[in-house]
């Protein structure tokens, strides 16, 4: 298995960087990443210093996949996400839209939590199950260089809890090699990522990357052992939900034998959504695989 250690911290999904690793389709790679706070918070007294490090969500990459060409897709199966320092950190200094109701006197709220034995020790009396996921994963577009703040058709800062071990993330390829980046690992995160900060941690993520020739995608997809889902990001979120469900209906039509309108009817009753960071309107529309054999 190849290993990609932390190197330069990138804050864009850029095609302009030289690949740090080249792999063949089907290879498994362990990728090390820094936390979304750029390693600045390791204790409750630390503070995020945006003068020294103004950006968030540093990435490791890019990884070039041999044979990947525009119009293909990468199938990235997340095998494991392992914390590297045994702790995670969060902060509540930026209440943003909530200020209308909560006020503007929010404390900094730096909060470091140990991770051990499958639990996150949020306080002496509250533990949270260790349920790791990647906030950022994506490929490099052929035009422009999106930062690690938004999500888009390339993937990006999706902050969807389903980018987790056991699931496969499908990403469009826009340039030769694909140029895969990842980072922003979370030990856990609630739907919506309310404070815009999950339980952030440096991590080692083990992935297996396959290449799907001619699998042209307009937005990312995720497949779990029990569900398929489509991801769309943008505000207003109502539009993202509608588009994600439309793409899910078309996926059911093109690959599972459904008529799109029949799928639309079914999804009205059994479809579910998962919400990433609410501030950028990222959603997953999903359906349980057991329904795909119906019609």
Coil, strand or helix at 242: helix
Length reported for the chain: 295
Give pLDDT, residue 142.
Answer: 97
Regarding beta strands 127-129 and 151-152, do their DSSP bridges make them parallel or antiparallel, or are they unpaired? unpaired
Residue 95: predicted pLDDT: 83
Q: Does 53 have pLDDT greater than 90? A: no
Half-sphere exposure of 255 (CA within 13 A, CB side): 11
CA distance 92 to 111: 9
Is residue 87 within 8 Å of 96, Cβ to Cβ? no
CA angle, 64 then 178 then 142, to 5° = 130
Report pLDDT digits (tens) over 73-111. 999 999 999 999 999 999 987 788 899 999 999 888 899
Q: What is the sign of the dihedral through the CA atoms of 91, 162, 229 and 153?
A: positive
- Residue 295 confidence (pLDDT) above 80: no
Q: What structural domains does the chain harbor?
A: 2-212 (2.60.120.580), 226-293 (3.10.28.20)
70's tokens: 């525009």
Say yes or no to pLDDT of 50 above 90. no
Q: Is the separation of the CB atoms in 68 and 22 below 8 Å? A: no
| CA-closest candidate to residue 231, choices 189, 171, 191 | 171
**Torsion-angle region of 28 (φ positive above 0: left; ψ -120 to 50: alpha; else: beta):** beta
pLDDT by residue (tens digit) across 150-200? 999 999 999 999 999 999 999 999 999 999 999 999 999 999 999 999 999
In angstroms, the CA 265 to CA 141 distance is 34
Helices then strands, each counted (H, E), the chain = 3, 19
Task: Give me the pLDDT at residue 96, please.
Answer: 82
Q: How far apart are CA 247 and CA 8, in angstroms?
A: 36
For the beta sheet containing 180-186, the strands, ordered from the edge strand earlier in sequence to the opposite edge, are 21-23, 59-65, 180-186, 133-139, 155-157, 151-152
Q: Is the pLDDT of residue 256 over 90?
A: yes
**Which pLDDT value is given to residue 109?**
86
pTM assigned to the model: 0.96
Grade residue 225 by pLDDT with cuts at 50, 70 and 90. very high
Average pLDDT over residues 128-145: 97
Instruction: Report pLDDT for 52.
Output: 87
């Amino acid at each position: 298995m190849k290993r990609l250690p932390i190197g330069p911290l990138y804050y864009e999904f850029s095609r302009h960087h030289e690949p740090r690793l080249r792999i063949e389709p089907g290879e498994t790679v362990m990728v090390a990443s820094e936390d979304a706070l750029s390693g600045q918070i390791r204790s409750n007294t630390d503070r995020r210093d945006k003068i020294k490090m103004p950006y968030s969500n540093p990435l490791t990459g890019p990884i070039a996949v041999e044979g990947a060409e525009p119009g293909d897709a990468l199938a990235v199966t997340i095998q494991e996400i392992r914390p590297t320092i045994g702790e995670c950190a969060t902060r509540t200094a930026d209440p943003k839209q909530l200020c209308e109701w909560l006020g503007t006197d929010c404390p900094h709220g730096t909060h470091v939590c140990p991770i051990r034995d499958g639990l996150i020790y949020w306080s002496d009396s509250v533990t949270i199950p260790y349920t790791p996921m990647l906030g950022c994963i994506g490929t490099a577009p052929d035009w422009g260089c999106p930062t690690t703040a938004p999500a888009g058709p390339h993937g990006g800062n999706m902050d969807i809890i389903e980018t987790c071990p056991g699931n496969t993330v499908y990403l469009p390829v826009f340039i030769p090699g694909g140029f895969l980046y990842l980072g922003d690992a979370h030990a856990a995160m609630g739907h919506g990522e309310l404070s815009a900060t999950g339980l952030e941690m440096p991590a080692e993520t083990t992935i297996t990357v396959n290449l799907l020739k001619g699998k042209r995608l307009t937005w990312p997809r995720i497949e779990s052992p029990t569900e398929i889902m489509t991801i769309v990001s943008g505000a207003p979120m109502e539009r993202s939900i509608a588009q994600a469900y439309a793409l899910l209906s078309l996926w059911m039509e093109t690959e599972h034998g459904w008529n799109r309108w029949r799928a639309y009817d079914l999804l009205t009753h059994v479809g579910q959504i998962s919400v990433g960071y609410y501030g950028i309107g990222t959603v997953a529309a999903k359906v349980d695989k057991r329904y795909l054999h119906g019609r």
